[in-house]
Every structure is written in structure tokens, then in C-alpha cells.
Amino acid sequence: MAGLFLTLEGLDGSGKSTQAKLLAAFLEGRGLPVVLTREPGGGLPGVRDLLLNPLKGPLSPEAEYLLLSADRAEHVRKVILPSLEAGAWVVSDRYLDSSLAYQGFGRGLPLPWLLEVAKEATLGLTPRLTFLLDLPPEEALRRVKDPDRLEREGLAFFQRVREGYLFLAKEEPHRFVVLDATESVEAVAQRIQAHLLPLLP
């Protein structure tokens, strides 16, 4: 594929959405075609409200993951792969690693099952680089002003999610770039850009 797939991961409040926008603007400034997207909702827009709206009521962890996977399957097939094949750089605010961290480590679902479902949902598509914005859970919760359904899970849940992210990063050091999200927005953006310079045409 002519394009390149980049993802941003981290706890809620870590600054992913801000950094995704800054990264897209940086790449566009270098003359590259860019598609900025996000999960959940990148493939099935209505799924985001169903998953995150606290007024929608509880979901079982299994249903939560399968809804995310359905959205991801559409996201890959309708947005990410066509964009990559057309030569665009795709920047996604969350992807599969979010589910492994939140539904796997956070909810306690077995990773082998999550990965088995993901293999078909994603067609095996893996990001070239994943920028993990690492933030202490206490700080993440402090930053969230209007918590959604997942953000209301509490400190212990987010501690498990962070541990999950760091485990995944250790398992794939060639793909993950772990960044200190307590640094300024500008400093984090500069670190991301520095990692990408060798990949730029």
C-alpha cells in the first residue's frame, strides 16, 4: 500500500484527539494526503453514542467488545484500507489496542478471544507506528470534565487499562512509541514529529 497507518492511544484525557489533529496538520504541511479518523464511530457512527452515552445503560463486556469490533470492521473496510490504497497517511485516534487495553485488561476479557475476533475484523491490518500517550490514571480522571460511560469506571479500572497499554507496548517495541503525556502539548507534538521524520518522503 502506498499510504501509511498511524494510531494514537492512551487513557481518556491523555490528549490523543489534540495530538491526532496536530499530527494530521503536520503531515499535510509536508504535502502529504492525510485522512484523520477515530474510533469508536469511524465505521458505524451510531455505535459511539451507544457505547459511550451513560444514559444508554450498561452493556456486558462481551457486547461492548463485539460492538467495537463491528465498528472496526467497517472502519477498516470503508475508511482505512481504501485511504491507504489511495496513498493517504491515515491518522486514527484509537484502534485495536484500545480494545485490548480497555476490554481485555480493564474488563477482564480473555486476550486470545479478543485477538481471534480482531483478526477477522481488522483483516490483520496493523499500524506502522502507535503513539501511546502515557498518563497516570489519577491525572487522566482529573482532566476529564464530562465523563462518558467508560470514563465513569473509576481509578482501579483505569489503572488496569494503563497496565494493559504498557504491557502491549513492551510486547511490540518496534511499533509503539511511549510518550509522557504530562508534558506540554507542544513538547509531545514535537516528539511525535521527530519519530516520523525518517519515514517522510
For residues 19 and 165, give the distance between their C-alpha atoms in angstroms, rounded to a whole number.
18
Q: Which of these ranges, 56-60, 73-77, 99-103, 171-175, has the smallest mean pLDDT?
A: 56-60
Residue set of the binding site: 10-17
Q: Is 30 in contact with 65 (CB distance < 8 Å)?
A: no
Domains and CATH numbers, the chain: 4-199 (3.40.50.300)
Q: What is the pTM of this model?
A: 0.94
Residue set of the binding site for ATP: 10-17
Single-letter residue type at 144: V
Cα–Cα distances (Å) from 48 to 54, 125, 132, in that order, read 11, 22, 21
Residue 50: the pLDDT is: 84
Percent of the chain with pLDDT over 90: 82
